[in-house]
Structure 1
Amino acid sequence: MKKIEAIIRPSKLEELKEALLAIDIDGITITQVMGAGKQMGWKEFYRGTEVSLNVLPKVKLELVAADDKVELIAETIIQYSQTGEVGDGKIFIFDLADCIRIRTRERGDKAL
């Protein structure tokens, strides 16, 4: 079992959600986040003073999947999130020790 976290552009969210549903991935957590990376933000003027805003709005997706689906999920995220410009985001993949469904107490892949 793996946990996949992806940070993407907000404008790519709806298209990516549809693509994930098309490959039978429906358990997903979505969070609006702010982040800084190579994109470096932008500068604005506030009351005559230049202000650097180095964090930008992003969307964080979190999902858990069986090991055999991880590559398909990662490729789908890349395909539907990539623009080729700085700021497309990142994907992080973690080993997951266990998963427990609270309602039934099922564990592991059965709980997904």
Structure 2
Amino acid sequence: MKLITVIVKPFKLTEVREALSAMGIQGLTVTEVKVFGRQKGHTELYRGAEDVVDFLPKVRVEAVISDDALEQAVEAIEEGTRTGKIGDGNIFVSEIVEVIRIRTGEMSGDACNPHFYDDVSTS
């Protein structure tokens, strides 16, 4: 199993979600983050004073997927988010050693299915 972590511009979140949903991946974690990278930030005027904004808003999307779906998922995310301009984001791939579903005690493959994140109505 792999953990894909995607850092993209907030308006590209829909494209990432749709690309992964089309593959049957439904369990996503989305976090609003601020990043500093090659974009370097920008200058804003706030109450008449110039303010340098170094950290830019992005979203971080995480999904656990099977090894055999990795290449397809990465390609789908790239196609949906690439503009060719600086700040398109990054995709990080990590190895998952173990997954345990707290509610049931299921481990690894059993715990990591298309419904990885429990629906509130099932508790």
- TM-score, scaled to structure 2: 0.84
Partners in 1 of 2:90 and 2:31 — Cα distance?
Answer: 15
Residue 25, structure 1, aligned to residue 16, structure 2:
no
Query: Is residue 97 from structure 1 mapped to residue 115 from structure 2 by the alignment?
Result: no
Decide which structure has greater strand share. Answer: 1
Deviations 1:67-101 (A, max 9, x none): 11111111111111111000000011111110011
Could you tell me which runs of 5 or more consecutive residues in structure 2 were left unpaired when the two chains were aligned.
113-123
Structure 1 gap ranges (5+): none
**Which residue number corresponds to residue 61 of structure 1?**
61
Name the amino acid aligned to 1:37.
G
Q: Following superposition of structure 1 onto structure 2, how do residues 28-47 of structure 1 map, counting pairs within 5 Å?
A: 28-47=28-47
Q: Which residue does 1:88 correspond to in 2?
A: 88
Match of 1:11 in 2: 11
For residue 14 of structure 1, give the secondary structure of its aligned residue in structure 2: helix
What percent of counterpart residues are identical? 45
CA distance in 2 between counterparts of 1:16 and 1:62 reads 10
Task: Deviation per CA, 1:27-68: give whole Å up to 9, x if none.
Answer: 100111111110111012345543211111101001111111
2:20 and 2:76 in contact (8 A); partners too: yes
Q: How much does 1:18 deviate?
A: 1.7
Kindly provide the amino acid, as one letter, of the partner of residue 88 in structure 1: D
CA distance in 2 between partners of 1:46 and 1:25 (Å): 42
What is the distance in 2 between the residues matched to 1:65 and 1:86? 27
The two structures have a TM-score, normalised by structure 1, of 0.92
CA contact (8 A) 2:15 2:77 kept: no
Q: Give me the CA root mean square deviation.
A: 1.3
Q: What amino acid sits opposite 1:99 in the alignment?
A: V
